[in-house]
Amino acid sequence: QVQFVESGGGLVQPGGSLRLSCAASGSIFNIYTMGWYRQAPGKQRELVATDTSGGSTNYADSVKGRFTISRDNAKNTVNLQMNSLKPEDTAVYYCNVDPPLLPWGQGTQVTVSS
C-alpha cells in the first residue's frame, strides 16, 4: 500500500519561504497526477497545486505566483516551494494523488506568523 510522508513544515514569518517534500512508497509518480493539499483549522481540506505525470502544473488562485510544485519520478518525491507566505497559508499540508484516492499521510504543519 502506498504511504505518503510529508516534511519541511515549520514556523515562518510573513513574506518568508518554506520548501515541503513528500516521499511516497511504491512507484506511483509516473502514473498519477500528484497534488499538494492543505487543511486550515476549522476548514475543509483544499487542493492547492497539482503536477501531472506529463509535467503540467496547476495552482489554486490563492497560491498562484507564490507556490511551485515539482516532482522527481525517479525518487518518488514531490515538492512544494512556497514563497511570499501569508498568515492565511497556515495549515497542515498533505500530498496525495489527484483526486485523493489513497490514504493520507500525517501531513506537515506550516505556521505563518510574526
Backbone angles phi, psi at 87, to 5 degrees: -55, -35
Pairing assessment for the beta strands 57-59 and 67-72 based on DSSP bridges: unpaired
Close Cβ partners of 60 (under 8 Å, ≥ 6 residues apart): 46, 47, 48, 49
Cβ atoms 76, 25 nearer than 8 A: yes
pLDDT greater than 90 at residue 32: no
Close Cβ partners of 64 (under 8 Å, ≥ 6 residues apart): none
Q: What is the pLDDT of residues 71-105, one digit of tens each?
A: 888 888 999 999 999 999 999 999 999 999 999 99
Strand-pairing partners, residue 111, are: 11
